[in-house]
Amino acid sequence: MTDSLTITRPDDWHLHLRDGDMLRAVLPETARHFGRAIIMPNLVPPVVTGDQAAAYRDRILAALPQGMSFAPLMTLYLTEDTDPEDVAAAHASGLVTAVKLYPAGATTNSASGVTNFDKVRPVLEKMAEIGLPLCTHGEVTDPDIDIFDREAVFIDRVLDPIRRATPGLRVVMEHITTANAADYVRSQGTVDGGDLGATITTHHLIINRNAILVGGIKPHYYCLPVAKREEHRLALRAAATSGDKRFFLGTDSAPHTDANKLSACGCAGCFTATNTMALLAHVFEEDGALDHLEGFASKHGPAFYRLPENKATLTLVKSDAPVHIPQSIATPDGPVTVFDPGFPVHWTVA
Ligand code: DOR
Ligand code: ZN
């Protein structure tokens, strides 16, 4: 039995840190285990310009407790008014690592996102020219499209046309939830040095849509893109644990207070920063793939983003007895519930 595993310190290639009191409460949960994270820009108002990203980065670094080391990798929120030159300058100065595409209305704070994709063509062309990756929230928002089909339809109607029209554009399909998305990634380009990668969350490896809806509605399992059928969860498990470099960890850890989750119109998001690494060890061990955990969490992401791997390490240990994971973390705005996998977990970060 493997009871200890040391890996290169992981990174989180998709994270929501929010701002203010919430930022101060959740940042240590990530910084404890992760060297870097791609920081989502869906604040209110969103982080659209280089100046806004610089100010947000300063607030994150100011919120980092003494003695913790963590590097926020900033993103810009793509709008129809985004200036390609502002994006290029933010990239050239080393400030931003990616630009985030939200279709307008797709998820939390996405009202300023894109409706007419032709309007962002100049930005996408500039990004292809300078090698700046586009992170996509891959769901269409057309009310006629069933919510469980929105990711697959996005690939056909939006993503594939954008990629064909913009050769060289580097794209990360974020938080993929379907076999369709995993298949699309594998069908395009090469394993090494290609233009297309995908992040997978911890929770989408663990829950399917039954977890949300069977035996009473479970708002803490509601996130976007919403979890799909079991066959899709299994396809995600296969992709994540395969060792294929195009798939890497992006937790999409998204804190909302219990008051905002447990409501008649509850917010989307699972908060997994606290227990992600322990849960991943469980998942990879269950699939006989512990030797691929380091690639998924610590190596494939830096390779895609053309960044060095972290120098530090992280050790996971397995105990006979289940480990205690806090049910929630306290914030001045109210408690934030930590994702409950629904099974006992024996792994913990040493
Ligand atoms: O579940 C989600 N929560 N999905 C998103 O795309 C946004 C996120 C959030 O900001 O809460
Ligand atoms: Zn997200």
Rounded to whole angstroms, the Cα distance separating 207 from 204 reads 6
**Does the CB atom of residue 224 touch ligand 1 within 6 A?**
yes
- Spacing of C-alpha 54 from chain mean position: 21
Percent of the chain with pLDDT over 90: 95
- The confidence score (pLDDT) of residue 2 equals 60
Cα 115 to ligand 1 centre (Å): 18
Cα 26 to ligand 2 centre (Å): 15
Cα 159 to ligand 2 centre (Å): 18
| Count of domains for the chain | 1
Average pLDDT over residues 178-187: 97
- The confidence score (pLDDT) of residue 187 equals 95
Atom of ligand 1 nearest to the CA of 42: 10
Query: Using CA positions, which residue lies closest to atom 7 of ligand 1?
Result: 108
Rounded to whole angstroms, the Cα distance separating 258 from 124 reads 38
Rounded to whole angstroms, the Cα distance separating 65 from 71 reads 13
Q: What are the angstrom distances between the C-alpha of 179 and each of 152, 184, 201, 252, 318?
A: 9, 8, 14, 19, 31
Non-local (6+) Cβ contacts of 318 within 8 A are: 1, 2, 3, 4, 281, 285, 346, 347
- The confidence score (pLDDT) of residue 58 equals 98
* 114 SS3 class: strand
Confidence of residue 191 (pLDDT cuts 50, 70, 90): confident
Rounded to whole angstroms, the Cα distance separating 229 from 305 reads 31
Backbone phi, psi, residue 298, to 5°: -130, -15
Q: Is the pLDDT of residue 345 over 80?
A: yes
Confidence of residue 1 (pLDDT cuts 50, 70, 90): low
Please indicate whether residue 156 is annotated as part of the active site.
Answer: no
Query: Using CA positions, which residue lies closest to atom 4 of ligand 1?
Result: 224
Q: Whole domain around residue 129: which residue ranges?
A: 4-349
Of 102 and 189, which is predicted with more confidence? 102
Q: Indicate which residue of 11, 195, 252, 340 is catalytic.
A: 252
- The confidence score (pLDDT) of residue 190 equals 83
Strand partners, 193: none
Q: Is the pTM of this model over 0.95?
A: yes
Percent of the chain with pLDDT over 70: 99
- The confidence score (pLDDT) of residue 98 equals 98
Helix (H) or strand (E) holding 14: strand 12-15
- The confidence score (pLDDT) of residue 130 equals 98
How many helices (H) and strands (E) the chain has is answered by 13, 13
Confidence of residue 112 (pLDDT cuts 50, 70, 90): confident
Q: Which two tokens stand for residue 230?
A: 């079991």
Residue 21 sits in a domain of what CATH number?
Answer: 3.20.20.140
pLDDT tens, position by position, 68-100: 999 999 999 999 999 999 999 999 999 999 999
Q: Is the pLDDT of residue 243 over 80?
A: yes
Q: Is the pLDDT of residue 143 over 90?
A: yes
- Give first-to-last CA distance, the chain, whole Å: 18
